[in-house]
Amino acid sequence: MDYLPIFLDIKNKPCVVVGGDEQAFSKSQILRQAGCELTVIAEELCGHLQSDVDTHQVKHVNKPFHTEMLDVFELVIVASDDESLKKIVVAAANERKIPINVVDDPDLCSFIMPSIIDRSPLVVAISTSGTSPTLGRMIRSKIESMLPQSYGRLTQLIGNFRGKSKLLYQTALERRKFWDAILSSNIMEIFLSGKEAEAKVALEKEFEKPQKDLKKNGQVCLIGAGPGDPDLLTMKALRIIQNADAIVYDRLVAPQILKYVRRDAELLYVGKKKSSHTVPQEDINQKLVDLAKEGKMVVRLKGGDPFIFGRGGEELEKLIEDQIDFQVVPGVTSASGCGTYAGIPLTHRDYAQSCVLVTGHLKEGKLALNWRSLVQPHQTIVFYMGLSNVEVLSAELIKHGMSPDMPAAIVQKGTTRKQKVFTGTIQKLPQIVANNEISPPSLIIIGEVVKLHDKLAWFSTDYSEDIKGNVLFD
Chain positions contacting ligand SAH, by CB under 6 A:
227-228, 252, 302-305, 308-310, 333-334, 338, 384-385, 411, 413-415, 440-443
**Identity of residue 258:** L
- Angle among Cα 266, 268, 270 to the nearest 5 degrees reads 165
**Distance in Å, CB of 226 to ligand SAH, minimum:** 8
Residues 6+ apart with CB under 8 A from 119: 147, 149, 151, 152, 155
**Distance in Å, CB of 251 to ligand SAH, minimum:** 9
**Distance in Å, CB of 306 to ligand SAH, minimum:** 6
**Distance in Å, CB of 7 to ligand SAH, minimum:** 45
User: Given 229, 245, 250, 305, which residue is catalytic?
Assistant: 250
Query: Based on CB atoms, which residue is closest to ligand SAH, 285 or 442?
Result: 442
**Distance in Å, CB of 390 to ligand SAH, minimum:** 11
The reply to whether omega before 121 is within 30° of 0 (cis) is yes
Query: Based on CB atoms, which residue is closest to ligand SAH, 211 or 359?
Result: 359
Query: Based on CB atoms, which residue is closest to ligand SAH, 338 or 426?
Result: 338
**Distance in Å, CB of 389 to ligand SAH, minimum:** 11
Query: Based on CB atoms, which residue is closest to ligand SAH, 91 or 434?
Result: 434
User: Given 215, 236, 272, 428, which residue is catalytic?
Assistant: 272
Query: Based on CB atoms, which residue is closest to ligand SAH, 249 or 384?
Result: 384
**Distance in Å, CB of 194 to ligand SAH, minimum:** 23
Distance CA 297, CA 141 (A): 27
**Identity of residue 467:** I
Torsions phi, psi for 343 (to 5 deg): 70, 35
82 is catalytic: no
> Do 413 and 228 contact (CB within 8 A), yes or no?
yes
Q: Which residue is nearest to ligand SAH (CB)?
A: 304
272 is catalytic: yes
Query: Based on CB atoms, which residue is closest to ligand SAH, 136 or 230?
Result: 230
Distance CA 302, CA 299 (A): 9
**Distance in Å, CB of 331 to ligand SAH, minimum:** 7
Which positions are annotated as active-site residues?
250, 272
